[in-house]
Structure 1
């Protein structure tokens, strides 16, 4: 089946920035291979195959030790490819799943044993059909009993309407891709200030300072996105995560070099202390709380 977007970079550079020991790529995906793990009939896009072997090879090439693999909409609520990758990782990967209201407690327990530690709620209208918020709330109340957190994906204009619902959810809430701010409006915009205030007022809310390639107007090297991410890293150093977003689904303008994305990290986390928190301490605390001292 013909994919709808560009294939991932075939030969990413070796990053100039050396990540700290035990670093975690806290947002990436596996797609298929379709022959083994068919894509969901209701999907809004068809990806290229991006199997676990290539993800783990990229992890090693970039110098990371661990991955957090996030279930993407093209696989719907069939988490088979995700679980397969977790099983193959030898404990070096954790997962964020998509679950249905009728997912049984036994199925949730199986996902937990496989290494799933969160559930994702997607509010980006071009990617998913609408789901009643009460359904999401019921799912959230079930998964937090397992110690999972909630990952939410939305776009900045929708935050004001979503805010009461988000604050009604239990447990830790992780916001994907900085809440997709309008980069053209600048980091002093009312929308981005609204998001910063949300984080400042609610210590349960974390954020992924990821996807400059998806948010940029100017293009590489993403100078227009750096101030947004750096603002969040410096303001909330204990609640920030970073990830490649490999294999970058739905990218149609340009496909980023993952090595170049790693080289953005010291621009958004300019000190060794901030880099350690962003890449090791925070993701380890959230996804591997039983592992002492981070590291690989």
Structure 2
């Protein structure tokens, strides 16, 4: 078997995050995180565009408990391609405390989908970020949607803010619940009430099947850690305007970070700044993810 060595400039997750001051409500869900390998047990995909440090299920579940969360939604990492074995292993070890979002090809069989569903997968992810993957023609994704429709799964889409106009017709044609990663990656140096983020607000206004993860301030911020002040207005706008259609997650173990590695305790302490009331926190962290993933 090929020996896996992480990229020489790879930033590993913080092994000792601070204990958050904010206590999530009972039943809170970290609705966006990943598992990487371990690579000697679950090999990384030959076509991957990065090789990470190992970050397996045991470390993820320990972090969940330490931060005060009860459940996880584990999203298939691009470094594993469409080989979902590491994801399924984590789901099966979770005691029904985790659900998954898989990556599948348009040739996936009903038997494979049934196995994924049994393990706890409830959606598929379409990645349009060109530095991470090579996007496919629209017909490819529609073929996958036709296959997952009988299972009632949803679609997660990951794209850059500049891609929304080009992909608008495709995104708005999707017949499932559509979960958008990281608020569509807004440019937070632009106004929160400006035309670029306004296009994303319009997407959520006009299409009630669209849900947004208010995640990854560490990826979007220019003002920086630990407070990520420039991202807060964007996330808070979505939480207050669409309280029933937002999700939150750590994005642990924070793949492809280049500037710094966030402290997961500090990320949790941002929650009351973007969801300032107990009612909004309950929807963001408990009610919304439970409805989508365990409902």
State TM-score, norm by structure 1. Answer: 0.97
More displaced stretch, 52-61 vs 177-186 = 177-186
Maintained 8 Å contact 1:120/1:152 = yes
Aligned to 1:293: none
Size of the aligned set, in residue pairs, is 289
What secondary structure is seen at the aligned counterpart in 1 of 2:115? helix
> How far does residue 135 in structure 1 lie from its aligned partner after superposition?
0.6
Tell me whether 181-190 or 218-227 shows the greater mean CA deviation: 181-190
The answer to whether structure 1 residue 104 and structure 2 residue 109 are counterparts is yes
Q: Does 1:2 align with 2:6?
A: yes
Secondary structure of the residue aligned to 1:183 is: coil
1:91 correspondence with 2:96: yes
RMSD of aligned C-alpha atoms? 0.7
Give the Cα–Cα distance (whole angstroms) in 2 for the partners of residues 73 and 109 of structure 1.
Answer: 22
Structure 2 match to 1:294: none
Q: CA deviation at 1:45?
A: 0.8
Q: Does 1:198 align with 2:198?
A: no
Q: Give the 4+ runs in structure 1 shifted more than 6 A.
A: none
SS of 1:151 mapped into structure 2? strand
Question: 1:70-149 residue pairs with structure 2 within 5 A?
Answer: 70-149=75-154
State which of 11, 16, 29 in structure 1 corresponds to 2:21. 16
Q: Contact 1:28–1:69 (CA<8 Å) still a contact in 2?
A: yes
1:248 aligns with 2:254: yes
- 1:52 has 2:52 as partner: no
- CA contact 1:141–1:170 (8 Å) conserved in 2: no
Runs of 5+ in structure 2 lacking a partner? Answer: none
Q: Deviations over 1:180-208 (max 9, x none)?
A: 00011131221100000110011000000
* 2:232 maps to which of 212, 226, 237: 226
The residue aligned with 1:236 is: 242
Aligned residue for 2:159?
Answer: 154
Q: Quick one: distance in 1 between partners of 2:223 and 2:191?
A: 12
Per-residue CA distance 1:242-268 (angstroms, 9 max, x = gap): 000000000010000000000000000
Partner Cα separation in structure 1 for residue 136 and residue 186 of structure 2: 23
Deviation per residue, 1:29-57 (Å, 9 max, x gap): 00000000110111111111000000000
The alignment's TM-score, normalised by the length of structure 2, stands at 0.97
CA distance in structure 2 between the partners assigned to 1:248 and 1:171 by the alignment: 27
Alignment deviations for residues 8-45 of structure 1 (CA, whole Å, 9 cap, x no partner): 00100110000000000000000000000110111111
1:69 deviates by 0.1
| Corresponding residue for residue 263 of structure 1 | 269
Q: Which runs of 5+ in 1 are unaligned?
A: 290-296
